[in-house]
Structure 1
Amino acid sequence: MSSFPVTSRQGSEVIEGVKTDFHISNYSDRTLVVVTQTGKPGTFIHVQRDSSSGRNGLSINVLVGKRDDVTMVYARQIAEVMHKRSQKPVLIALCVLNDSPVVFKKVLQNLETLSA
């Protein structure tokens, strides 16, 4: 049985001139992470630990939206940040307009701060 209220944290920062909103909700069975620069959810990605065959990697599935290398890198790194606190699966809603390294670094820094 899940306990409510769900714990949530949110914040925003202007990154490279674009307001970027962050939201993390911790449910009993997974963590929801929203990163958006448009106010829309964008691509939905599900990430969980894959312990099959003795591996300790990540299973990353794009549920809806863009399926490209940048999305996969974001998903992997966001999940790693979240897995520092909990091994629960992570559902990510990602919508960034600029995939520069500066934006990527700032997104991860903001999520580190929010998840602490």
Structure 2
Amino acid sequence: MDQNKEFLKNDNYPELTVILAVSSSSQKDVCRYKGIKTDIIISVYDDHILVMATQIGAMGTILHARKEEGMAIHPTFSVPVIFGKRKEPMLAACARQLIEQISSSGSPRTLLLSLGLQDHSLDTLKTIVSSVTENRLW
């Protein structure tokens, strides 16, 4: 196994496998969540974190989440949709949750999130956020 990759089975979600990659290469693994194949890939780059979660074998909706720099006491975040479904507020909420976690840990990286999901339920999105934050590389 390449030393830059780590494959984790999540004890809380036994049907979900997370692939962590710290280089530009990534691998795909097959897993199931609620009977639906779900792949999660996390890749860390110098200035970005790429998270891909797919149940459809494609990238789906792509969001770019970042912390806005400014003088505000409370941080603000920008989460525009780059490609895909713009009328899915739960996808933006998922990206916001992840960028808040990234930012609160002190990382200056922005997030590129790809969600190709059949199931857009709150439980699925919570599972994705939990799995990514539990296995964070930032």
Range class of TM-score, shorter chain: 0.7 to 0.9
Identify which of 65, 70, 76 aligns with 2:90: 70
Q: Which residue does 1:82 correspond to in 2?
A: 102
Cα distance between partner residues in 2 of 1:104 and 1:92: 12
Provide the rounded CA distance (Å) in 2 between the counterparts of 1:14 and 1:85: 32
Q: State TM-score, norm by structure 1.
A: 0.81
Matches within 5 A, 1:77-116: 77-83=97-103, 84=105, 86-115=107-136
Give 1:50's aligned residue. Answer: 68
- When residues 113 and 41 of structure 1 are mapped into structure 2, their CA distance, relative to the original with a 3 A threshold, is same
- What SS does the corresponding residue of 1:52 show, helix, strand or coil? coil
SS at match of 2:130: helix
Q: Check the 8 A contact 1:81/1:108 in 2, yes or no.
A: no
In terms of fraction of residues, the more helix-rich structure is: 1
Q: Which residue of 1 aligns with 2:9?
A: none
- Percent identity, aligned pairs only, is 29
Please give the alpha-carbon distance, in whole angstroms, between the structure 2 residues aligned to 1:106 and 1:65.
Answer: 21
Whose RCO is larger (CA < 8 A, sep 6+)? 1
Deviation at 1:48, TM superposition (A): 0.6
Q: What's the CA shift for 1:12? A: 5.7
Root-mean-square deviation (Å): 2.4
Structure number having the greater strand percentage: 1
Residue 33 (structure 2) aligns with: 15
Bigger mean CA deviation after superposition, 16-25 or 67-76: 67-76
> Unaligned 5+ residue runs, structure 2?
5-20
Structure 1 runs, 4 residues or longer, greater than 3 Å off: 8-13, 81-85
